[in-house]
Structure 1
């Protein structure tokens, strides 16, 4: 998955209604829950915390909402004793660097004092060296003026909310009172902090059809009425006009297929409803989701804009394991701050390891 350009996966009211309707009707002996640690999300003022199911925590800080152009800093720490905190810095370039002159390498400024240029992290981001990062963390605690500056702009960064968010990060990973805590340090060693949780493993099953095709008239006549009854049980989850569009189907194996139909459309997002059916329609179909974007080679995905500008997204993936479509990735790209088209970061709440046969 790319460094994602997609906001926490937001489940629409339609999704909840339709899913509950499906669960009420379907009891599948092959269905099993993915064992995983509960993800944690927490926000205070200009900082957010997202800890995924492996106990890796990501704290994202931003400029204030009225500060243009904006900057964002991402602090990432894995669970376990003595794990380092990595940092990334991203400065607003929503239009793709349309400035009249190259921005150059940015400087870190604390209380109007330059701490030198940042290091390159990748094609989009920068990072602070060890001395800069130490000064940055001290500046957060002192509520100092923090800025980044390049040849084009100054980017005023906000530390408001950082103490609460970083304290929560320590709490989630069991570091409060230890020598490695970011906020409330103590004399305790980190030997007793929480360990990383392994990513759940999903064995991806092969599928007969890697792409969906339009259903034939005969398939539509046989399958659609059954699925329409299931949709009706979801309290008008899908728009009637959208359901009149051509439905699609893809064979998963010799006994089961994936059927999809256009379900809803908003101002700048849309969602399709997906079902797993027995080809002979001998059992009640199972609803995968009513908010998906596409199907490809055994994977259903959903990408949703947080707003029309497209500077923040959420995403979710489901992977076929031979019995059902299992949630395999959930996350978002951080706040809508006009930093990048597609969003600034990849902030997962669910991570899995998908293994292909």
Structure 2
């Protein structure tokens, strides 16, 4: 781990290549979302720009917050990480007050906008774990087994009660990955892995439709008119674009034959309209973002920044990997969306804020000592 946290002084400017790939992904995602979402908007009696206009608003808000985050001293986030965690925890207690949507209470409404507070765990958990790891490594805390497990289990329980299995699985995976690169004891990490596996199967067994998805995937997705319909249609759309695709806006599967074309399965629409070439370009952009993020983590000027950059990069890249693996029929349907592309204002907002943290660490300048 010491090599991973190698210190190196850099200048004050942002990593321009990182900024460029973020803007390319955001622009590509907005274009594809507009193409994938307008049929759904029209079919439900809304303006054809209904979904993209809301996504654009959240992108703008996220960009403003990203700039704020990019210029703030990282010591500020380290000092107040527990407060941020408490705020997000409290926000996640509010969705039941706003009622259920499709059997799940995951959102709070602010005027005409809806926010999914569990998305913010992708940020505050990284900050909390990074700060806790550094305190142990600096000798200011004996160990973090009890506190880390307590926080993780409390968060998992709250998110699970929102009927949000995808975010629950994501949080467990993110925490396990960050613990793996820390100095967490191997024995405890093994027990955590076993616990995650048991919780995963428990969550699946408690809902018949989740078990049906898993069994359908294990049997090769042969139920074309039942539980396998969505994934088979997604794979058809992905392959229908051929080498160069049908062109942006010219896809047919988003017209109704592929459910959730604008969110969970937007990557299938990317394949249909941009083809194999477009798919490879998008994947390479994400791969380059991951490379830059991990390089920034490797060369960060202190361990807290390094952990934050690692966690943020893993969060974005892991979501992309899972989403594309579902469309490619490699794993069962999870509900994890594709960063920058999938419809979901809170996801876009959080993704841009995470990019702000990466840009901050890429500047590589210490802004004063930290005292606790």
Query: What's the TM-score once normalised by structure 1's chain length?
Result: 0.28
Q: Looking at both structures, which has the greater relative contact order when contacts are Cα pairs under 8 Å and sequence separation is at least 6?
A: 2
Larger strand percent: 1
- The structure number with the bigger radius of gyration is 1
